[in-house]
Structure 1
Amino acid sequence: MLNDTTLLLDLDGVSVARVERPADGRRRVHLVTADEAPRACPACGVFATRVKGSAVTRPRDLPYGEGGLEFRWHKRRWWCREAGCPRKSLTEQIPQILPVPG
């Protein structure tokens, strides 16, 4: 899915919702998922249709420019609707933004 965020940040699958400048002077970029593919359960491949909740992550491996940008990815948690799936729920993921190790 090609959009302005893809062109600006080389990130496909997310869009910029807004940008703000906190007191420290950096730029904080709020991203939202802009593609349906991240709703596919990684265990069974079925597309989720029921939202479980939301999460905000802070991808840190996305350098941009000298001053850098601070990212917040507002994504949804989904229930997997496949009865036999062991996963039961999932959080949106895209290959360009790796999960932060916990």
Structure 2
Amino acid sequence: MAVERVERLADGSRVAWLVTADEAARACPGCGVFSGRVKGVVRTRPRDLPCGSGGLQLVWVKRRWYCREPLCGRGSFTESLPVVA
């Protein structure tokens, strides 16, 4: 993952906007074929341990990909990384 930007909110807490930096996340979990066609974008909020005295929220902007393998049962999938539950 990579930090795209960090925002400070009015209450002093921060929001870190994350994107997927690992190209392996483009591989379909069903068949392993790499996709090159984005279907859309979704946001998730992974939880993390507290950081400092102010709050920190994480927002992971993930791409949803089309699986281009005709024999695969998945039509699309969302980026995922094994290190993020």
**If the length of structure 2 is used for normalisation, what is the TM-score?**
0.91
> Aligned residue for 2:62?
75
Amino acid aligned to 1:63: L
Matched, 1:65 2:60: no
Q: Percent identity?
A: 57
Question: Aligned AA for 2:45?
Answer: R
Distance in 2 of aligned mates of 1:37 and 1:53: 18
Question: Gaps (5+ residues) in structure 2?
Answer: none
Secondary structure of the residue that 1:20 maps to in structure 2? strand
Higher relative contact order (CA 8 A, sep 6+): 2
Q: Distance in 1 between matches of 2:42 and 2:25?
A: 14
- After superposing the two structures, state which structure 1 stretch, 63-72 or 49-58, moved more: 63-72
Deviations 1:42-86 (A, max 9, x none): 1100011100000011001x2142434210001100000000100
- Partner residue, 1:16: 3
* One-letter amino acid of the structure 1 residue matched with residue 25 of structure 2: P
Q: Which has the higher helix share?
A: 1
5+ residue gaps, structure 1, are: 1-13
Structure 2 Cα separation of the partners of residues 97 and 64 of structure 1: 16
Structure 1 stretches (4+) deviating beyond 2 angstroms?
64-68
Alpha carbon RMSD of aligned pairs, Å? 1.2
Give the structure with the higher percent strand.
Answer: 2
- Per the normalisation by structure 1, the TM-score is 0.77
Residue number in structure 1 paired with 2:27:
40
Look up the equivalent residue of 2:23 and give its one-letter code: E
